[in-house]
């Protein structure tokens, strides 16, 4: 069995935040005398918040790791359905619930909250046959502290300083992680062993989408109002985008007024609906500095032979067509090809 120090080293070796929850949960289940551990995050859809069980592991070696890009909201439960989790989250403090008596089985809830992104919040849920010992709580606290520190470091490195959205480096890294379903070597329980190779042959599921959004007339607005005002506008548009798309959708700012969304969606009309919602939300908002403003967007299904560059080029072509037709439009690359 690995020691606490070995698990701390493993957590700090990560360069991808997607694997942190698994490594954290794996350390807890293997180091402590408990039955199971679960990490649940809060996800948003259509203005409602739900529990998303990211990782669940048990002492017998079973468990699962969920893919946030493939969320099935029909299977998730609203926050109020798990009152103890919600109480822990709101109190920002550990909660211990006994299920049969003073010395019997326990469920311990520990809040997981990101100071960088208020929406990135969740709960560590631990099931044990007896109350956790002080030494157990100390070990969890140490693991949690390191997990939070590494999360913050990685968040700073892959996020845009102005808007807090993910940056281009993060897009390049996530693109292949999101769409490749052929992995080098055999699958293992350690998700950190997954290696993405941009040059290898791969199959891509037909329901991943990449979309790009730009502010209509951004250069002219920048010349007239100045860069400081347009930075404020950029932050507002980023906020609208974050509120429009789902919590687990990957949202990026590439540069200037260029925003990108990478997400999983079963069919084109639903993908179109997401970008139309954002277009309408921007159109109906009166920006105090510049008045009315619009956006144009283009989106594409990710193809087998795609790289981030080729997929982004198709979205750029769709945006160019939208702006040639007056802007304030959303074009699908599939429609362009018809």
DSSP 218-255: HHHHHHHH-HHHHHHHHHHHHHHHHHHS-TTSEEEEEE
Phi and psi angles of residue 22, each rounded to the nearest 5 degrees, phi first: -65, -45
The number of residues in the chain equals 338
Domains in the chain (CATH in brackets) are 4-157 (3.30.450.40), 168-337 (3.30.70.270)
Question: Given a cut of 70, is residue 207 above it in pLDDT?
Answer: yes
Question: Given a cut of 70, is residue 17 above it in pLDDT?
Answer: no
Each residue's pLDDT tens digit, 218-270: 999 889 999 999 999 999 999 999 989 987 888 999 988 999 999 888 889 99
161 vs 328, residue with greater confidence:
328
Question: Given a cut of 90, is residue 277 above it in pLDDT?
Answer: yes
CA distances 282 to 150, 245, 251, Å, are 35, 13, 16
212 vs 162, residue with greater confidence:
212
Question: Given a cut of 90, is residue 214 above it in pLDDT?
Answer: yes
- Out of 10-19, 182-191, 212-221, the most confident range is 212-221
pTM summary value: 0.68
Provide the pLDDT for residue 311: 92
Least confident span in 77-81, 123-127, 313-317? 77-81
**Of 273, 275, 245, 301, nearest to 71 (Cα)?**
245
Provide the pLDDT for residue 194: 33
Provide the pLDDT for residue 8: 59
Least confident span in 111-120, 138-147, 310-319? 111-120
46 vs 116, residue with greater confidence:
46
Provide the pLDDT for residue 216: 95
């Amino acid at each position: 069995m690995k020691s606490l120090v070995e698990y701390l080293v493993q957590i700090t070796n990560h360069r991808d935040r997607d694997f942190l929850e698994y490594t954290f949960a794996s350390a807890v289940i293997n180091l402590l005398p408990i039955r199971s551990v679960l990490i649940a995050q809060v996800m948003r859809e259509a203005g409602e918040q739900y529990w998303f069980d990211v990782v669940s592991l048990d002492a017998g070696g079973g468990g699962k790791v969920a893919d946030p890009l493939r969320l099935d909201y029909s299977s998730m439960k609203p926050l109020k359905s798990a009152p103890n989790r919600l109480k822990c989250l709101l109190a920002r403090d550990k909660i211990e619930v006994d299920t049969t008596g003073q010395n019997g089985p326990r469920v311990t809830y520990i809040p997981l909250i990101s100071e960088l992104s208020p929406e990135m919040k969740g709960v560590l849920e631990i099931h044990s046959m007896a109350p956790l010992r002080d030494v157990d709580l100390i070990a969890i606290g140490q693991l949690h502290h390191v997990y939070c520190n590494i999360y913050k470091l990685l968040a700073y490195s892959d996020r845009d300083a102005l808007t807090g959205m993910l940056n281009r480096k993060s897009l390049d890294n996530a693109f292949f992680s999101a769409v490749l379903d052929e992995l080098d070597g055999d699958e293992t329980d350690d998700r950190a062993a997954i290696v993405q190779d941009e040059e290898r042959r791969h199959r891509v599921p037909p329901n991943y989408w990449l979309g790009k959004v730009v502010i209509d007339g951004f250069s002219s607005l920048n010349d007239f109002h100045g860069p400081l005002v347009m930075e404020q506008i950029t932050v507002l548009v980023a906020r609208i985008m974050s509120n429009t798309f789902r919590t687990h959708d990957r949202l990026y700012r590439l540069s200037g007024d260029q925003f990108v969304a990478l997400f999983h969606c079963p069919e084109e009309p639903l993908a179109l609906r997401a970008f139309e919602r954002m277009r309408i939300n921007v159109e109906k908002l009166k920006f105090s500095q510049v008045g009315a403003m619009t956006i144009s967007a283009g989106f594409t299904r990710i193809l087998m032979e795609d790289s981030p560059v080729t997929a982004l080029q198709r979205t750029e072509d769709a945006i160019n067509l939208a702006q040639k037709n007056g802007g304030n439009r959303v074009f699908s690359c599939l429609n362009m090809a018809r």
